């Protein structure tokens, strides 16, 4: 079936509203992602966080942070939405090595000029990119914070790679592919019922909702791409 495409700005606006006003709902849906733990296993097997300083941009509710926080020496988690930063502050309250900061991806280099051992961004660095930035390759180098190790994780499709992604998002992924190595992790969102899967699809990425409804399964496949140097 032909994949319905959404304008990048439409997707970003819908997600911004969700993150800003319904952070708890976003957190709940994200708990259904990659329930098999493929991403967690890959990150901990492939990269070292032991005793490292980590800057995680777009940390959301801290789901990915939980993978490595016990191993790291110092962690700074950022998000562009106050509701998410508040969740992070509450989650890591009393954990001295974790600092939460309100920061847009485009401000990272100015806010954190000193290199961290690891820079990590999961499912969010794409929000810094839109057609107004011009050359995506050059813009990536312009905003990428200095770090010994960069790890950028993105959803690059659902039923097939790049299905439903708008052209601007594919341009962004192509820029990542020029700059980094890549590992693809086919995984799934797993819900308790087909109806819950459809409801989540409508919230997170509406173009796939009809296909999820037609499949009538409690599972939504996802293609996770991990980019790293």
pLDDT at 16: 59
The Cβ-side half-sphere exposure at 32, using a 13 Å CA radius, reads 21
* Range of the structural domain that residue 33 is part of: 8-188+219-228
Taking the C-alpha atoms of residue 61 and residue 84, their distance in angstroms, rounded to an integer, is 6
* Kind of pairing between the strands at 219-228 and 181-190: antiparallel
Does 63 score more than 60 pLDDT? yes
Say if pTM beats, i.e. exceeds, 0.85: yes
What CATH number corresponds to the domain at position 89? Answer: 3.40.50.150
What percent of the chain is predicted at pLDDT more than 90? 77
The pLDDT assigned to 28 comes to 81
- At 146, the pLDDT band (50, 70, 90 cuts) reads very high
Q: For the chain, how many structural domains are there in total?
A: 1
pLDDT digits (tens, 9 = 90+) for 180-199: 999 999 999 999 999 999 99
Q: Does residue 74 lie in a domain region?
A: yes
Please choose, from the candidates 20, 146, 159, the residue with its C-alpha nearest in 3D space to the C-alpha of residue 80.
20
H helices then E strands: how many in the chain? 10, 7
Task: Write down the pLDDT at residue 130.
Answer: 86
């Amino acid at each position: 079936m032909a994949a319905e495409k959404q304008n990048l700005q439409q997707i970003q606006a819908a997600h911004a509203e969700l993150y800003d006003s319904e952070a708890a709902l976003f957190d709940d849906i994200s708990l259904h992602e990659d329930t098999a733990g493929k991403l967690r296993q890959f990150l901990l097997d492939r990269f070292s966080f032991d005793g490292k300083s980590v800057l995680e941009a777009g940390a959301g509710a801290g789901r990915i942070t939980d993978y490595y926080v016990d191993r790291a020496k110092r962690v700074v988690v950022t998000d562009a939405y106050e509701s998410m930063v508040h969740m992070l502050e509450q989650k890591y309250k009393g954990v001295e090595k974790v600092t939460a900061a309100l920061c847009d991806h485009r401000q990272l280099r100015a806010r954190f000029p000193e290199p961290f051992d690891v820079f990590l961004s999961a499912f969010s660095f794409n929000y810094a990119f839109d057609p107004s930035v011009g050359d995506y390759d050059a813009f990536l180098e312009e905003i990428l914070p200095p770090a010994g190790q960069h790890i950028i994780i993105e959803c690059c499709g659902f039923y097939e790679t790049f299905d439903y992604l708008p052209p601007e998002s594919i341009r962004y992924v192509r820029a990542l592919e020029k700059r980094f190595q890549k590992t693809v992790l086919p995984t799934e969102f797993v819900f308790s019922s087909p109806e819950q899967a459809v409801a989540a699809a409508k919230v997170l990425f509406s173009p796939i909702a009809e296909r999820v409804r037609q499949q009538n399964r409690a599972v939504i496949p996802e293609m996770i791409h991990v980019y790293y140097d």
